[in-house]
Amino acid sequence: MTKRIKIRLAVIAFITLLSVYLFAGMPPSVANMKQRIHLGLDLQGGVQLVLKVKTSDAIRAETDQTIENLKNQLQKANITYRELTRTEDNQFTATGVDTTKNSEFQKLIADNHPEWDVSSKSGDTPNSYSLQLKPAQEAAFRQQSVEQAVGTITNRINQLGVTEPTIQRRGTAANSDEILVQFPGVKDPGHVRSIIQSTALLELKMVEGQGTFPSEQAALQQYGGQVPSDLQVLPSSEHSADGSPTYFLIHKSGGISGRDLKNAYVSREENGRPAISFSLNAAGAQKFGTITEQNIGKLLAIILDGRVQSAPVLKSRITDNGQITGSFSPEEAKDLALKLRSGALPASISIEQETTVGASLGTDSIVAGVTASVVALVAVILFMLIYYKASGINATTAMFLNLIVLLGAMAYLGATMTLPGIAGVILTIGVGIDSNVLIFERIREELRAGKNAASAVTTSFGRVFITLVDTHLAALISAAFLFLFGTGPVKGFAVTLFIGLVSNMFTAVFVSRTLFELVLARKERAEAISI
């Protein structure tokens, strides 16, 4: 046995042992860093949801935010106006603008809000303008809201500890507003749904007046029954003594939101009940400090998803810390802190489709998949042994090693095995045997041409190598596109196929050739080979 063969055998032994170790022998400390193979939704059961992001909410929020910013900018520029009012999700009007400052008004819009088209508006109120969000910018905001929703949901689910979830935009169209979510092995889908769907928008705003009202009408009596443009009526999470709902009159502007939030965690209020403490970033702390300093003695509303959780009296200036109190259970406080930490959803979400895969169905899928793999494996082995005689042992050895390397690589990468992934394993078996058939048939041709066994093996592997690279590269490109544009099950197939193709190049070329050279090196005369 030559030194070259010994080195090649050592490489094969090392890769084989490493793959077995990664798949079956990895200690817990390492396994936590690189998880072993997980079963997908179709194999262990779970829940699949198709969510629809109501992107109109994000456009409406962007319009309201623009109105609030414009109010402050007009005040600083000393440009008077009568009212700024949202008329559509993507449109608002500015009425009664100072006639002497038309050019200054339009320049302010152009400089600070270039994403809005401005046009003069005819009507009863003179010198009024209509501002319309540009179509391209509106489309960008809608797409951004879906992408942000995917990120927020991912953060929430990761903090829940769900194993190997799939969260991705459904389809490839830029205007797609649907999200595909899969949770393998989830036992409480209702809890997961509530975590996903809650917007968790936190706002800190000043209360108009010094208390609550028994109804919306009572809150608006002092304004003739109409809501002023700078105020809004919001319900309280607390009820009155007789159990009826209560309401607050809240200032729309002059507050801070969850965008200024830095952290949120479960704590205890002064009576020992669960609460949520939060801290603000530098910009939010500065803004909050100014607001609280100017409103000492007034009520500050802590608003979550449009409902006032509490309204404490401001006794002193507050900067970067606060606490949300209410009738929270420990689990509710934990979930709320999680939602706040992961960020508010940019728009509300509805569940368009829910599919539950039972664990028994997953078990049946595993049995069917394994049975198919075993039958395919046995059939291929029998064919290779009968057709190629002793050389079939070479192909079988390379094929088994290919499967070992495939499983080890999937375990190291923390890949998820799906039913299509099992199909990928079966396809890998076929591709591996196909590679050996190309090599063996070439060896037969060289032997028929009169070459001895050693020369036939060397020549055949050299000439077939380029063909194998071409075929594997084409398949690898296909697998890459399947992974990029496919959904969960298709991605499982793509991952398995990609790893299987890479490992097959190693086994079909390196391992198979080493086994031939090992056999020929042990023959006294390397003139014949069983093929």
CA 70, CA 108: separation in Å to the nearest integer?
Answer: 9
Q: What's residue 427's pLDDT?
A: 86
Q: Give the pLDDT confidence score for residue 28 in this predicted structure.
A: 43
Mean pLDDT, the chain, integer: 83
> Given this model, what pLDDT does residue 174 score?
54
Cα separation, 276 vs 310, in Å, equals 12
pLDDT value for 132: 93
Q: Give the residue with greater pLDDT, 35 vs 311.
A: 311
The pLDDT of residue 330: 87
Distances (CA, A) of 387 to 186, 342, 377, 434, 452: 48, 61, 15, 13, 21
- Asked if pLDDT for residue 161 goes beyond 50, the answer is yes
Give residues with Cβ within 8 angstroms of 417, minimum separation 6. 37, 38, 39, 40, 43, 410, 492, 496
pLDDT grade, residue 69 (50/70/90)? confident
- Inter-residue contact 145 to 89 (CB < 8 Å): no
3-class DSSP assignment, residue 81 = coil
How far apart are the C-alpha atoms of 405 and 111, rounded to whole Å?
60
Euclidean distance between CA atoms 472 and 474, whole angstroms: 5
CA nearest neighbour of 471 among 521, 441, 431: 431
Query: Is 74 in contact with 66 (CB distance < 8 Å)?
Result: no
Give the per-residue pLDDT at 495: 85
pLDDT at 32 over 50: no
Kindly report the backbone phi and psi dihedral angles of residue 278, in degrees, each rounded to the nearest multiple of 5, phi listed first.
-140, 160
What average pLDDT score do residues 11-22 get?
A: 90
CA distance 390 to 410: 31
Mean predicted confidence (pLDDT) in 274-290: 85
Task: State residue 131's pLDDT score.
Answer: 92
pLDDT tens-digit profile of 303-352? 888 888 888 888 888 888 888 777 778 888 888 787 777 777 778 888 88
Report the distance separating Cα 347 and Cα 240, nearest Å: 31
- 125: confidence class by pLDDT, cuts 50, 70, 90: low
Judge contact between 101 and 79, C-beta under 8 A: yes
Query: 519-527 long-range contacts, Cβ below 8 Å, gap at least 24?
Result: 519/394, 520/453, 520/454, 520/457, 521/1, 521/2, 521/5, 522/1, 523/453, 526/452, 526/453, 526/454, 527/452, 527/453
Lowest mean pLDDT across 279-288, 319-328, 374-383, 484-493: 484-493
Rounded to 10 degrees, what is the CA torsion of 11, 15, 16, 18? Answer: 140
Q: Domains (ranges, CATH) in the chain?
A: 3-45+358-522 (1.20.1640.10), 55-137 (3.30.1240), 198-352 (3.30.1360.200)
What per-residue confidence (pLDDT) applies to 11?
92
Give the model's pLDDT for residue 30: 39
Task: Judge whether residue 33 has pLDDT over 50.
Answer: no
Of 362, 441, 349, which Cα lies nearest the Cα of 395?
A: 441
pLDDT tens for 182-233 read 887 776 777 778 878 777 777 888 998 878 888 888 888 878 778 787 788 9
Q: What pLDDT score does 29 carry?
A: 40
d(CA 251, CA 225): 17
What tokens does 86 get? Answer: 């949202």
Is residue 391 within 8 A of residue 398, CB to CB? The reply is no
Whole-number pLDDT of residue 523: 63
Say yes or no to pLDDT of 105 above 60.
yes
pLDDT value, residue 524: 54
Beta bridge partners of 247: 213, 235
Residue of higher predicted confidence among 435 and 364:
435
| DSSP 8-state assignment for residue 508 | I
Assigned token pair, 188: 């409480």
> For the chain, what is the radius of gyration of the CA atoms?
34
Q: Please state the separation of Cα 505 from the chain's center in Å.
A: 33
Amino acid at 399: M
pLDDT in tens, 452-505: 888 888 888 888 888 889 889 988 998 888 888 776 667 778 888 899 999 999
Spacing of C-alpha 337 from chain mean position:
20
Residue 133 clears pLDDT 80, i.e. is over it: yes
Helices (H) and strands (E) in the chain, counts: 16, 19
Percent of the chain with pLDDT over 70: 91
pLDDT at site 527: 59
pLDDT in tens, 242-262: 778 899 999 887 778 777 788
Residues with Cβ within 8 Å of residue 474, at least 6 apart in sequence: none
**CA 162 to chain CA mean position, Å:** 13
